[in-house]
Amino acid sequence: PPVSGIHASGDDGAYSIALSGGYEDDIDLGECFTYTGEGGRDLKGTVNKPKNLRTAPQSKDQTLTRGNLALSISCDTKNPIRVIRGYKLKSQFAPDEGYRYDGLYTVEKCWFTTGMSGFGVWKFALQRCQDQAPPPWTVTQVLNISIFYLTNHDFFHPLRLIIK
């Protein structure tokens, strides 16, 4: 079966994404995060491991198709996307077990760059929408910070860091 963390349909953009530790390039700051697109992996398995390998190593560049295209459309439309965080995500904002709905986010920026694997990946910067229920993590301190993403398109985006 296909494996994807992006739920999308046609020209409407993305409806939801799941953060579950699929790519080493992702940065999760709670109210904002970068998300690595889908594709670029051979998920057929091998003779020794014949199952669908969700975490197979990157073996080629990602393309701007399917879920990646949908997220880029969402970047243009600014329609909110539901975000689910899973327990496999290496982040202080991940649930201890299972999967959790963490609210609505908008795609603020998308770009193509070389990932940590050495192959081309699509990256998406998402920001939590205002005027919704508070996030499920406990906030004890909020700092205003700026993150400078060095990509082929030098991207500067102000973000808010939430610290437990």
What is the length of the chain? 164
pLDDT tens digits for range 87-131: 998 888 999 999 999 999 999 999 999 988 899 999 999 999 999
- Return d(Cα 27, Cα 46) in angstroms, integer: 30
Rounded to a whole number of angstroms, the CA Rg of the chain reads 16
pLDDT at 8: 83
pLDDT tens digits for range 130-158: 999 988 876 553 343 333 333 333 444 44
pTM: 0.79
**Torsion 11-62-15-54 (CA) sign:** positive
Domain boundaries, the chain: 6-151
CATH architecture for segment(s) 6-151: Roll (2.30)
Check if the beta carbon of residue 84 is closer than 8 Å to that of residue 136.
no
